[in-house]
C-alpha cells in the first residue's frame, strides 16, 4: 500500500519511543532508570481528580462545544491576565487535546506548501515535523552554549526570505532550558511586526524558571505583537496532567476560528471530563505548581553538579524547564568493545544497554552532539542514574585512552 507523500521525512516522536523501549526493558525485569520523560512525576491536582469524577457522575459525558466549554475558556482567560498580563475574549481562545494539538491546528491554518517557519535550533522535535506535514519548510536558526541557546533579532534577520511566514519561540525551552529575557523578546517582536511574521509562542514550561528569573510572554509586549502572536500553553507540565490531554491556544480571532473549524472536522471537542479537570487545576494555580518548582530547583542542582563532574560531558545550568542539555561531543568517536559512538543516538543506546539509564539523544532535537537528561524524577533516581552514566562513560574512556 502506498502511503501519502506527506509522510516523507517525518519520524515518530523519539522521546515517546525511548520511554516505550525503556518500559519494555523494565517489563522484562531490568532495573532501568528513566531520565528521558518529559513529564513531571507528581500526581495531578486532587481538585482536578475530584472534578473529573464529579463530571462522570453527573453525566457530563457528552459532546461539548468544539473549541472548549465556556467556564474553561474563562478560567484560561483569567490565568492569562493574572500570569501573563494578556487579555483575551473567549472567542480568542481554543481548547485542544494537548498543546501539541493546538500547534497542529495552527499549522493547518497557517502553513502553505513552501512557507518557511523559523525555528531556533536545538528545538522541540515536534515543530519541524508539524511544519513539514503541511508542506512547509522548517528553517533552523543555529544556537549553542555560547549564546545560551538563544537567538536574537539580528541573527533572525539573516534568515528572512520572502517565504518566511512564522517564527517559533519556545521559552523556557525544551530541550535546552533557555529562557528569553524581555529585552531580547522586544527586539524579536519588533522584527516580527516589521516583517509581518506570525509568532508561535510555546509557553508550556512558563512556570519552570529558576534563580529568580521571570517568564515573559512575547505577546505581552504591545498590541502590535499581540495581534500576530499565538500563545500556546496547557495543563500538562505545570499541573502534572500530561495524560488528560488539555492544551490551549490564545491569539487573533481569525486564526482561532479557523483552528476551531479544523478541530470540528478532526477531533471535535477535547474530553468533556478532562475539560472539567483542567478548570480545577487552573483555579488552584500557583498553590499547586509552586512546590513542584521548588523541588525541581533542588533536582536541577543535583543533576547539574553531578553531570558536570563526568569527564567528557559539559552542561550549561538550565534556566528553565526540567532538562539538562549536555554536550557530549568529546565522547563522539569513542569506542566500547566493537561499538563506535558515532552519534548521540549511539551514546543513548549505549547508556541504555550498559548503564540501564534512559536518556534522549540530541539528534532529533537538531543537536547530534548533545543528550537530554530529564530531572522530572526523584532525587534518588537522578543521583543513581548519573552515577551509572559516570561508570559507563569511564568505561568508554578506558577503551579509547
Binding site for ligand PLP (CB under 6 A): 38, 98-100, 124, 170, 174, 202, 204, 234, 236, 242, 247
Tally Cβ neighbours within 10 Å of residue 284.
15
3 state SS of 232:
strand
- Please identify, using beta-carbon distances, which residue of 41 and 190 lies nearer to ligand PLP: 41
Query: Which among 318, 349, 326 is positioned nearest to 336, based on CA atoms?
Result: 349
- Please identify, using beta-carbon distances, which residue of 341 and 358 lies nearer to ligand PLP: 358
- Please identify, using beta-carbon distances, which residue of 100 and 299 lies nearer to ligand PLP: 100
Q: How far is the CB of 283 from ligand PLP (least distance, A)?
A: 19
**Signed CA dihedral, 148, 317, 130, 264: sign only:** negative
Buried b (16+ CB within 10 A) or exposed e, 163-193: ebbbbbbbbbbbbbbbbbeeebbbebbebbb
- Please identify, using beta-carbon distances, which residue of 100 and 226 lies nearer to ligand PLP: 100
- Please identify, using beta-carbon distances, which residue of 204 and 274 lies nearer to ligand PLP: 204
Q: How far is the CB of 324 from ligand PLP (least distance, A)?
A: 15
- Please identify, using beta-carbon distances, which residue of 14 and 334 lies nearer to ligand PLP: 14
Q: How far is the CB of 101 from ligand PLP (least distance, A)?
A: 6
Measured CA to CA, the distance from residue 367 to residue 128 in angstroms comes to 14
Residue of this chain nearest to ligand PLP (CB atom): 98
Q: Which three cell numbers stand for residue 165?
A: 511566514
Query: Which among 304, 301, 300 is positioned nearest to 322, based on CA atoms?
Result: 300
Phi-psi region of 318 (alpha: psi -120 to 50; beta: other; left: phi over 0): beta
Q: How far is the CB of 5 from ligand PLP (least distance, A)?
A: 26
Alpha helices in 58-98 (DSSP H): 70-84
- Please identify, using beta-carbon distances, which residue of 80 and 334 lies nearer to ligand PLP: 80
Q: How far is the CB of 274 from ligand PLP (least distance, A)?
A: 11
3 state SS of 194:
helix
Tally Cβ neighbours within 10 Å of residue 336.
20
- Please identify, using beta-carbon distances, which residue of 166 and 392 lies nearer to ligand PLP: 166
3 state SS of 170:
strand
CA-derived radius of gyration, the chain: 21
3 state SS of 397:
helix
Q: How far is the CB of 241 from ligand PLP (least distance, A)?
A: 8
Amino acid at each position: 500500500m502506498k502511503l501519502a507523500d506527506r509522510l516523507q521525512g517525518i519520524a515518530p516522536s523519539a522521546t515517546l519511543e525511548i520511554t516505550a523501549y525503556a518500559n519494555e526493558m523494565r517489563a522484562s525485569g531490568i532495573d532501568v532508570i528513566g531520565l528521558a520523560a518529559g513529564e513531571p512525576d507528581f500526581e495531578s491536582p486532587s481538585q482536578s481528580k475530584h472534578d473529573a469524577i464529579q463530571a462522570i457522575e453527573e453525566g457530563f459525558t457528552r459532546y461539548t462545544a468544539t473549541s472548549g466549554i465556556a467556564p474553561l475558556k474563562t478560567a484560561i482567560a483569567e490565568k492569562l491576565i493574572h500570569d501573563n498580563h494578556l487579555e483575551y475574549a473567549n472567542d480568542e481562545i481554543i481548547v485542544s487535546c494537548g498543546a501539541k494539538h493546538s500547534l497542529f491546528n495552527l499549522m493547518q491554518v497557517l502553513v502553505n506548501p513552501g512557507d518557511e517557519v523559523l525555528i531556533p535550533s536545538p528545538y522541540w522535535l515536534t515543530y519541524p515535523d508539524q511544519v513539514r506535514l503541511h508542506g512547509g519548510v522548517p528553517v533552523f536558526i543555529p544556537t549553542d552554549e555560547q549564546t545560551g541557546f538563544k537567538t536574537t533579532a539580528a541573527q533572525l534577520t539573516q534568515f528572512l526570505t520572502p517565504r518566511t511566514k512564522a517564527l517559533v519561540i519556545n521559552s523556557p525551552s525544551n530541550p535546552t532550558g533557555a529562557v528569553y529575557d524581555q529585552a531580547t523578546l522586544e527586539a524579536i517582536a519588533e522584527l516580527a511586526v516589521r516583517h509581518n511574521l506570525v509568532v508561535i509562542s510555546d509557553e508550556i514550561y512558563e512556570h519552570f524558571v529558576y534563580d529568580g528569573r521571570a517568564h515573559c510572554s512575547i505577546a505581552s509586549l504591545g498590541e502590535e505583537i499581540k495581534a500576530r502572536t499565538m500563545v500556546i500553553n496547557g495543563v500538562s507540565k505545570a499541573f502534572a496532567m500530561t495524560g488528560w490531554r488539555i492544551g490551549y491556544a490564545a491569539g487573533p480571532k481569525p486564526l482561532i476560528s479557523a483552528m476551531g473549524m479544523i478541530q470540528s472536522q478532526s477531533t471535535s471537542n477535547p474530553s468533556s471530563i478532562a475539560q472539567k479537570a483542567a478548570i480545577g487545576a487552573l483555579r488552584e494555580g500557583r498553590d499547586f505548581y509552586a512546590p513542584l518548582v521548588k523541588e525541581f530547583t533542588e533536582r536541577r542542582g543535583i543533576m547539574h553538579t553531578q553531570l558536570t563532574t563526568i569527564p567528557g560531558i559539559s552542561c550549561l545550568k538550565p534556566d528553565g524547564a526540567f532538562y539538562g542539555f549536555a554536550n557530549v561531543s568529546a565522547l563522539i568517536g569513542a569506542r566500547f568493545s566493537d561499538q563506535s559512538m558515532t552519534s548521540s543516538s549511539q551514546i543513548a543506546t549505549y547508556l541504555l544497554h550498559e548503564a540501564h539509564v534512559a536518556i534522549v539523544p540530541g539528534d532529533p532535537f537538531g543537536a547530534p552532539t548533545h543528550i537530554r537528561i530529564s530531572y522530572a524524577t526523584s532525587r534518588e533516581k537522578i543521583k543513581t542514574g548519573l552515577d551509572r552514566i559516570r561508570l559507563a562513560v569511564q568505561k568508554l574512556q578506558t577503551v579509547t585512552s
